[in-house]
Amino acid sequence: MNRHAFKSLPALSLATVFLAGCSRKDVSGIGFEEGLSSVNDQSLSLWQGAWIAAGVVGVFTLILIMWPVFFHRKKDENFPKQTQYNIPVELAYTIIPLIIVAVLFYFTVQRESEIVKVTPEAQAAHVIEVIGFQWSWQFIYKDAGDYKSAKVTGTPAQPPTLYLPLGERVRFNLNANDVVHGFWIPAFMIQMQNLPGVENHLEFSADKIGTYPGRCNILCGRNHSQMLFSVKVVTPAEYESYIQALVAEEKAAKA
């Protein structure tokens, strides 16, 4: 490839860096639905920017591959000119990937630090313990007052439903009592491992009323595919009514 072709390399670098470290505004219609949770607000634009940057790099790489195919084909029996090295090219394909990775790393760390930030349990408005086991889930609602004992336990045949109050941050304590599981809500762009003997913590708000699928995303045994649950986002009043109903059921069962 001639020298003029490499004049576009700095422009490619700048464009890719810009796309990888895109603004907080989302690119409408690309990938996940926006505004479903506080996690989406942090990660959606980064996810989109990373894919757009990868697309730009992929197209440019394809051009580099196809250029010699069409413009440097064998034309005669003369031995082609040999080039031992090309310092500008070698600098370009070393520095540009480093810049791209550095930008992605910076924005990933920035967004991740916001996503994993949690409120101390004593100060959290809502606390839910999520226990993964072979092969279903148990949700223990540990809100203040009489709600400390409210819980729902699912089975592979009857997956449980996790209720969340609209627009209110909820702290999740993630545990497992047998093997490693993965608490995953695809629509909310969030997942975290449930580890035996280690409690992980996660906090976010669900910002759109609706029902969303959840599942375990770590192979945990023969019935892993049946380890499902649903997330139902309701108004705060409906959430309170649901918790009270759970407490009433448990009181009746103990009576």
**What is the pTM for the complete model shown?**
0.75
Q: How far apart are CA 231 and CA 187, in angstroms?
A: 10
Least confident of 1-5, 64-68, 106-110, 166-170: 1-5
Strands in 190-194's sheet, in edge-to-edge order, are 161-165, 228-234, 210-216, 181-185, 190-194
Residue 118: is it exposed, middle or buried by C-beta count within 10 angstroms (0-12/13-18/19+)?
A: middle
pLDDT digit string, tens, across residues 146-179: 556 688 999 999 999 999 999 999 999 999 999 9
Q: How confident is the model at residue 24 (pLDDT cuts 50, 70, 90)?
A: very low
Q: Within a 13 Å sphere around the CA of 69, how many CA atoms are in the beta-carbon half?
A: 5
Per-residue DSSP letter, 158: S
Domain ranges of the chain: 3-115, 121-254
43-82: buried (b, 16+ CB within 10 Å) or exposed (e) per residue?
bbbbbbbbebbeebbeebeeeeeeeeeeeeeeeeeeeeee
How far apart, in Å, do the first and last CA atoms of the chain sit? 83
Query: Of 193, 157, 159, nearest to 173 (Cα)?
Result: 193
Fold for 121-254, please state it.
Answer: Immunoglobulin-like (2.60.40)
Residue 30 confidence (pLDDT) above 90: no
Start-end of H helices in the chain? 9-20, 38-71, 87-115, 236-254
Residue 167: is it exposed, middle or buried by C-beta count within 10 angstroms (0-12/13-18/19+)?
A: middle
pLDDT digit string, tens, across residues 68-87: 888 888 778 888 777 788 88
The phi, psi pair for 27, rounded to 5°, reads -90, 110
Residue with tokens 């992980």, as numbered in its chain: 200
